[in-house]
Amino acid sequence: MKRVEVLRVQQYGTDFYIGKYDPRRLVKMADRSIDVGDIQEAQRPLDKKHLKDISDYTGPKEKGMLPASVMIGTRDKDKLKLEKEIDELGRTQYFILFPDTQEELEQYENCIDIIDGQHRLFAFDDRYRNEGLKDDMVYEMAFSLFITPDLTTRRRLFTITNDMQKAVSGNLLLYLRSKLGMLRPEEELYLPLVQSLNAENRSPLKGRIIMNAERIPKGYKAKELIKIFDKAKIGEIKIGEPARRLSIGELLSVVSAYLSGWEMYYRLSYQKPGKETMTKISGLRYVLHLFNTFFDHALHSQTKFTEEFVQSVIRELEMIKGLKEGETLFDRSLEFRGEGATVKMATDDAAELKAYLDGKSSGGFNPLV
């Protein structure tokens, strides 16, 4: 057995103890019969992807740290008993004897409940842990330990770890990751474009993009726009001979002209969005998923990419779809209720439009000049 020093913490008559231990051993003291997807009494099911993400993060390649403690409670009053002694200065020292060897760990299996931090701890289970994290590598995890907590205490702990937790929005996380230099590849590519669209006067979206946690009525979240740009592959378009990708400045120019063309054609404004679908995020998703088809047509027809050009292609798309006078491309409301349906409609419309416009070649024409 291994002696683990703990600190006593008191809050409104309830004691708990803070210490540290190897999570590869600590997890063996939990109920390891729990498997991915199993329904549990007081925990959400284990998620395999979440476990793998933590496992990869805590491996020797990423060297990820988990400074936040897991919260555990003992199940058996005869195991993991709290002990104390008086040191030479007269101070009370608390400690608990933890199982250390394989035989001891087998005897202590299922002697603790994980109250909070289940995925963090199970990521160190032999079934999920990173193969590079060898047994001889020092990796400790902080814990808060409750000694056989009663029902009242468990209810309080459940409330604070579940009902009273407010998740950080994905948009704010994007902002924080950008400040810490932790952006994902697609965020590295498109965040500068989104920032420019939010800042430049020529952009129809100036001041309309929620960059972190600010409140903008009917604003567009930066994270959502990055997701749309990435899925629509707007950053992959190329111009010139030899072919090259557009710079952020060039993308800003063409995307701004493109959105302005839609505004002019339908006499709507992204600056003053109303109830019209085009100015909602679903409408913007549809419009941006058509962008590459419009731009390719400018290349092949050797036409400058302007608001007037965009309006002419919208007119052709309406004609292809057989719209009657007074109808718009945004009238099929069911297709705009879910992201999948909107993307599918845009993809189908783009294919139909491309088929209609095929046969024109670009050579090395640059539609930005």
Reported in sequence order, the residue ranges of 195-309 that DSSP labels E, i.e. its strands, are: 209-210, 220-221, 238-239, 244-245
pLDDT at residue 362 above 50? no
**pLDDT of the residue at 360:** 47
**pLDDT of the residue at 368:** 72
**pLDDT of the residue at 366:** 66
Report the distance separating Cα 260 and Cα 268, nearest Å: 9
Calculate the CA 333 to chain-centre distance: 28
Structural tokens at position 268:
């709507």
Mean pLDDT, residues 186-211 taken together: 96
**Percentage of the chain exceeding pLDDT 90:** 69
Q: Give tens-digit pLDDT for 334-360.
A: 889 899 999 999 999 999 999 998 754
Q: Give tens-digit pLDDT for 165-182.
A: 677 788 888 988 898 888
**pLDDT of the residue at 38:** 67
**pLDDT of the residue at 160:** 81
Give the containing element (helix H, strand E) for 118.
Answer: helix 118-122
Cα–Cα distances (Å) from 326 to 23, 68, 244, 248, in that order, read: 65, 59, 40, 37
Q: Give tens-digit pLDDT for 98-107.
A: 999 999 999 9
Mean pLDDT, residues 21-35 taken together: 91
Q: Give tens-digit pLDDT for 293-304.
A: 999 999 988 899
pLDDT at residue 40 above 90? no
279, 233 contact by CB (below 8 A): no
How are beta strands 141-146 and 70-74 bridged, if at all? parallel
CB within 8 Å of 22: residues ≥ 6 apart: 139, 140, 141
Report the distance separating Cα 296 and Cα 353, nearest Å: 11
Mean pLDDT, residues 306-328 taken together: 95
CB within 8 Å of 237: residues ≥ 6 apart: 245, 246, 292, 295, 296
**pLDDT of the residue at 365:** 59
Report the distance separating Cα 201 and Cα 282, nearest Å: 24
Report the distance separating Cα 116 and Cα 43, nearest Å: 8
**pLDDT of the residue at 62:** 86
pLDDT at residue 264 above 90? yes
Mean pLDDT, residues 25-53 taken together: 82
